[in-house]
Amino acid sequence: MEKTLCGRYLVNVYSDGSIETSRLPIEDNKELEKYINVNDLSDSISQVLLTMKYYMLIYKEHIDEAEENGYDFDIDYDDMVRSSLKKIADLLEVNLMTVTSKVTKNLINENLETLTLPEFYKIANSFACAYYHDHSDLKKTEFYNCLMRSLPKRNQTNNIKAIELFTKNPTISFLLKNNKTF
């Protein structure tokens, strides 16, 4: 039996327990593309995307600071990735090694081997450079390719959609499991 989509709704849940729903036109996905819901993703993809989002925020802060103070943009990328991993572990209330494992053991490099942490440092930096400096197609980055090679079977459609949204807009908001946004 074929299913036909009859309606699409956006549900907003507030901290006081109140709920608002609004009907969306079926052909309008713009409202749904304002955030990525980590509840719809595998843990590995959500943690990798969250880590990269925080990395992108730190990277942008360093760019702005360098431009504001008139000095060259020269930072420790490895330290920025380590800070990002720690921030996401704290945010998700998981062990730092859990998040580190997601960005290494669960990602596959171009040689079809698990990613090492130094390799993740490199692809995180090249992704940020592609976005902030080169303004190139983020789907051509090793980060994107690495994610697509590493898709888990669980929630594959949602994972692909989230990766596509993230590569369109790496500053997109995430809806976390505790219904907070990041």
Helices 156-168/142-149 angle, 10° precision = 170
Q: What is the pLDDT of residue 14?
A: 81
CA distances (Å), 96 to each of 56, 79, 104, 143, 170, in order? 19, 14, 13, 21, 22
- Residues 108-151: pLDDT tens digits? 989 999 999 999 999 999 999 999 988 889 999 999 999 999 99
For position 82, what pLDDT does the model report? 94
pLDDT of 28: 45
Mean of pLDDT values over 68-72: 82
Q: 3-class DSSP state for residue 166?
A: helix
Least confident of 17-21, 72-76, 125-129: 72-76
**CA-to-CA distance for 78 and 124, rounded, in angstroms?**
9
Q: Determine the Cα–Cα distance for residues 108 and 144; give it in Å rounded to an integer.
A: 11
pLDDT at 32 over 80: no
Question: Is the pLDDT assigned to residue 56 strictly greater than 80?
Answer: yes
The region of weakest confidence among 31-40, 73-82, 120-129 is 31-40
**pTM score > 0.85 for this model?**
no
Rg (CA), the chain: 18
Beta bridge partners of 20: 12
- The C-alpha torsion from 97 through 98 and 103 to 106, rounded to 10°, is 120
User: What share of residues in the chain are helix, strand, coil (percent, to 5)?
Assistant: 55, 10, 35
Q: What's the gap between Cα 101 and its chain centre?
A: 16
Percent over 90 (pLDDT), the chain: 55
At residue 25, does pLDDT exceed 80? no
β-bridge mates for residue 143, sequence order: none
Task: Please identify which residue in the block is written with the tokens 């209330």.
Answer: 93
pLDDT given for residue 23 in this prediction:
67
Query: Partners of 10 in the beta sheet?
Result: 22
